[in-house]
Amino acid sequence: MKFSIITVNYNHRDGLRKTIQSVINQTFTDFEYIIIDGGSEDGSVGVIREYSDKITYWVSERDKGIYNGMNKGIVQAKGTYVNFMNAGDVFYSNDILEKVNRLMDDSDFVIGKDFNQNPKTGEVFTTILPTRISMAAFYMWTLPHQSAFIRRSLFNNSPYDESLRIVADWKFYLDKIVYEGKTIQLLDMPICNREQEGVSTSQASKTIEERHRVLSGLLPPGIHKDYETLAKLDRSTLYKLLNLLDNEKSRKWIIYFIKVLNKIIPSKSEL
């Protein structure tokens, strides 16, 4: 079996229905569908039962949070790759799994873009993917989770860290891609139409605190400070800068302009 699609839900009945319909209407059918419900009391279980003939496995019981739910889903998964399409999120189109299956190579991670629309302003944007995968890509940011297809065997003996409430998926990327050197393929196309106001969006300060705690345990203080300085650039600018620095001709021009700016802009000691 190629894919295991896992949906975690808690008291999000309407979003769950949208997600289920998005999954079961896929034109590619070599997948199983797993739903882990955290003991919802809003009618979500009724929605699951309504589509139970299309669901490979489901359970509704109290859990210890979203990553505990994801880990429960992973235990049940039998596909080569797992994808987490949680309640409220939907595949970008009905033929996405078909397209991914056709384009993907044998990488450990196959990751596309999230499509986002601000419900208040109507502004539309998609994920900015890095031009290269390195520590800089993960220091303050992450790669899409809903738009990722992850080799299931990577979770053997290393499930999501349930001590983290918001950034365990980011830490998993960090461990596997940066530290263990697992392979990754980036797809320049949207995979998921992501629901806004998710946990990491609504608890931004908690997200930063958890990431800082993880990084402080992984990086020596001096390296931590270097990446903290780089992170003052916005994501798009940082990715472009790193790409330019890899080119010898561009690098010489950047060094030249920095020297010019250094002469024009006074240092702190001169202010």
If you write DSSP's letter for every residue of the chain in order, what string do you get? --EEEEEEESS-HHHHHHHHHHHHT-S---EEEEEEE----SSHHHHHHHTGGG-SEEEE---SSHHHHHHHHHHH--SSEEEE--TT-EESSTTHHHHHHHH--S-SEEEEEEEEE-TTT--EEE----SS-SHHHHSS----STTEEEEGGGGTT----TT-SS-HHHHHHIIIIIIS---EEEEEEEEEEPPSS-HHHHTHHHHHHHHHHHHHHHS-HHHHHHHHHHTTS-HHHHHHHHHHHTSHHHHHHHHHHHHHHHHHSPPGGG-
Looking at the fold, whether 108 and 36 belong to one and the same domain comes out as yes
Looking at the fold, whether 92 and 48 belong to one and the same domain comes out as yes
Among all chains, which residue has been given the structure tokens 């780089």? 230
Q: Do 136 and 227 touch, CB atoms closer than 8 A?
A: yes
Q: How far apart are the C-alpha atoms of 67 and 134, rounded to whole Å? A: 25
pLDDT at 271: 47
- The one-letter amino acid at 15: G
pLDDT at 28: 98
pLDDT at 241: 80
Looking at the fold, whether 179 and 50 belong to one and the same domain comes out as yes
Looking at the fold, whether 189 and 246 belong to one and the same domain comes out as no
Total domains in the chain come to 2
Q: Which residue positions in the chain have pLDDT lower than 50?
A: 270-271
Q: How far apart are the C-alpha atoms of 137 and 118, rounded to whole Å? A: 24
Domain that holds residue 217: 3-232
Looking at the fold, whether 220 and 238 belong to one and the same domain comes out as no
Q: What are phi and psi of 150, to 5 degrees?
A: -115, 130
Looking at the fold, whether 180 and 246 belong to one and the same domain comes out as no
Looking at the fold, whether 117 and 227 belong to one and the same domain comes out as yes
Looking at the fold, whether 255 and 180 belong to one and the same domain comes out as no
pLDDT at 193: 94
Looking at the fold, whether 63 and 138 belong to one and the same domain comes out as yes
The tokens for 17 are 């229905």
Looking at the fold, whether 30 and 47 belong to one and the same domain comes out as yes
Backbone region of residue 27 per phi and psi (left: phi > 0; alpha: psi in -120 to 50; beta: other values): alpha
How do 90-91 and 184-193 pair as beta strands?
antiparallel
pLDDT at 198: 53
Tens-digit pLDDT profile for residues 69-116? 999 999 999 999 999 999 999 999 999 999 999 999 999 999 999 998
pLDDT at 202: 53
Looking at the fold, whether 110 and 176 belong to one and the same domain comes out as yes
Q: What is the CATH classification number for the domain harbouring 14?
A: 3.90.550.10
256: how many CB neighbours lie within 10 A of its CB? 10
Looking at the fold, whether 248 and 160 belong to one and the same domain comes out as no
